[in-house]
Amino acid sequence: MRNISLLVFIILLALCIAHAAYYYPLLPDRVASHFGVSGQPDAWASKESFVKIYFIVIAIIVVMFPAIGLILRRSLPT
């Protein structure tokens, strides 16, 4: 089961990278990066900054999920 989970995790990571690579050239130079309560954009970023933040979030998730698994394995009684 652990191997299947790792495989799914790696596939999803690869899909995130492919997603960014595919859409990067299609993004406008200025991208809405935050939306107010009304649903209207109220902050903007360059597409480079937007994609960098996307990759930072993906990197955090890539580190966080295995860390949570490790913490749970070590803290729960066997």
Mean pLDDT by 10 residues, the chain (78 residues): 83 94 96 95 95 94 88 85
pLDDT the model gives residue 1: 64
pLDDT the model gives residue 78: 66
Q: With residue 43 as reference, give the H or E element that holds it.
A: strand 41-46
27-59 b/e with 16+ CB inside 10 Å = b? eeeebeeeeeeeeeeeeeeebeebbeebeeebe
pLDDT the model gives residue 36: 95
pLDDT the model gives residue 73: 86
Q: What's the pTM value of the predicted model, to 2 decimals?
A: 0.77
Q: Rounded distance, CA 29 to CA 44, Å?
A: 10
Identify the three-state secondary structure at position 37.
Answer: coil
Q: Rounded distance, CA 75 to CA 77, Å?
A: 7
